[in-house]
Structure 1
Amino acid sequence: MLLRTATRQDLPAIVALLTVEDAVLDPSEAVVDEAYERAFAEVDADGRNEMLVLDDGNGTVLGCLQLTYIPGLGRHGQERALIEAVRVRADRRGAGLGRELLTRAVERARARGCTLVQLTSDKRRTGAHRFYASLGFARSHDGFKLPL
């Protein structure tokens, strides 16, 4: 398995993973519109963001996540990493791919000098919460969102 930075060519597979969580959507059927194109280009151009994919070695995307590095004054000026948009193909779950994906992302953040990795997860994704806890993530805060 390869963990690599996503390319524009991976965008349909990423959109497929993000669009349909409990089934496998053929990437050729994913609707990659202008908003996805723009967002991918912005993430790709930003040195504090990485869209990462787990590749089976033959170019098939099996999982993805976005890793964002956040500077700040909290934690004595240490950088932190935020993990979002974590997905593994529905037909490949339970084989350790999610663990591999998250473990490697945490290693990247550590190598960059981050002192904390954080993530959020929809409250309804209880299986994901158990998974994150098994990796050592602790429920230390409540999160709040305000749609704009």
Structure 2
Amino acid sequence: MIFREATRQDLPAVLALLADEESVLDPASIVVGEAHERAFAAIAADPRNEMLVLTDDAYDPCGDPEGADGVVLGCLQLTYIPGLGQNGLERALVEAVRIRADRRGAGLGAELMRLAAERARERGCGLVQLTSSKRRTAAHRFYERLGFARSHEGFKLHLAP
């Protein structure tokens, strides 16, 4: 397994993971829209954001996208947030965590989260936080098994364009 920053070539596979967490979608069937392209470019250009993937490939360390033939098994986004509270503690926000439906139960999710926490620790973060939809009860059990505590109640406000 290889844990690395996502490349543009990974975008259809990441979107397939995010589109349906109960099925395995063929990345070739995913339409990558202009909004997806803009969002991925913004994440890639921002030093406080990372889209990360877990793959089963022998990824080319020189960054040659033609050398990346493996399967994206999981993904997540890390956003690093500076804060004044807790004595200036920087935190890492985890979003968009997914493991391919046909590969769950083998410890890949736990490994993905362990690697993300280690990456955040190396960056100087003192806290990893996440939110999860109330409908995702299996994901909640998973996060609790990893040591995450239900410490806050979350709120969201959708803004009309």
Category of TM-score, reference length = shorter chain: over 0.9
1:75 Cα deviation from its structure 2 partner = 1.2
Distance in 1 between residues matched to 2:100 and 2:85, nearest whole Å: 36
1:107 Cα deviation from its structure 2 partner = 0.4
- The letter for the 2-side match of 1:42 is A
Q: Which runs of 4+ in 1 moved over 3 A?
A: none
Matched, 1:61 2:72: yes
1:34 Cα deviation from its structure 2 partner = 0.3
Q: What do residues 18-38 of structure 1 show as CA deviations (whole Å, max 9, x unaligned)?
A: 011100000000111000000
TM-score (norm 1): 0.98
Give the match for residue 114 of structure 1.
125
Distance in 2 between residues matched to 1:114 and 1:143, nearest whole Å: 21
Matched, 1:24 2:35: no
Distance in 2 between residues matched to 1:131 and 1:73, nearest whole Å: 30
Specify every segment of 5 or more residues in structure 1 that has no aligned partner in the other structure, as ranges: none
Give the match for residue 135 of structure 2.
124
Root-mean-square deviation (CA, aligned residues, Å) is 0.6
TM-score (norm 2): 0.91
% identical equivalent positions: 73
Matched, 1:137 2:138: no
How many residues are paired up?
148
Specify every segment of 5 or more residues in structure 2 that has no aligned partner in the other structure, as ranges: 59-69
SS at match of 2:122: helix
Give the match for residue 36 of structure 1.
36
- The letter for the 2-side match of 1:119 is L
